[in-house]
Amino acid sequence: MGLVNAVVPPDKLEEEVDKWCDEILAKSPGAIKGLKAAFNLMSAEIRGLEILSFDGLWRYYATEEAKYYKQSFWEKKKTDPLKYRKKEMFPGIYEE
């Protein structure tokens, strides 16, 4: 995913944003958090980004979340995007 993924007319913008948000929210929460942090550091031109990124990546690989997504990938299974998402972060999308 890049900075500009699609160019749409103004009347289609909200629909396109919803599509991209759905795609992102279907991914691993830990991976999203790590990529967001790495992107923010890159855009701020902070030295040591490579060390910080790899450290975070290796820490993530050791989590149950990463193991779940890796196993699902290899087994070509559909993942549960809410499995590792914190309920308090997304009120209203969880069934109680």
pLDDT band at 94 (very low <50, low <70, confident <90, very high): low
The pLDDT assigned to 45 comes to 61
Write out the two tokens for 55.
């450290």
Q: Which pTM value belongs to this model? A: 0.47
The pLDDT assigned to 48 comes to 61
Q: Quick check: 43 pLDDT over 80?
A: no
What is the average pLDDT value for the chain, to the nearest integer?
80
The pLDDT assigned to 2 comes to 58
Q: Assess contact for 43 and 59: CB atoms under 8 A.
A: no
Q: How far apart are the first and last CA of the chain?
A: 32
Q: Residue ranges of the domains in the chain?
A: 11-77
Give the least confident one: 5-9, 51-55, 76-80. 51-55
The pLDDT assigned to 60 comes to 84
* Higher local confidence (pLDDT), 18 or 37: 18
In whole angstroms, give the CA distance from residue 32 to residue 11.
28
Q: Assess contact for 69 and 31: CB atoms under 8 A.
A: yes
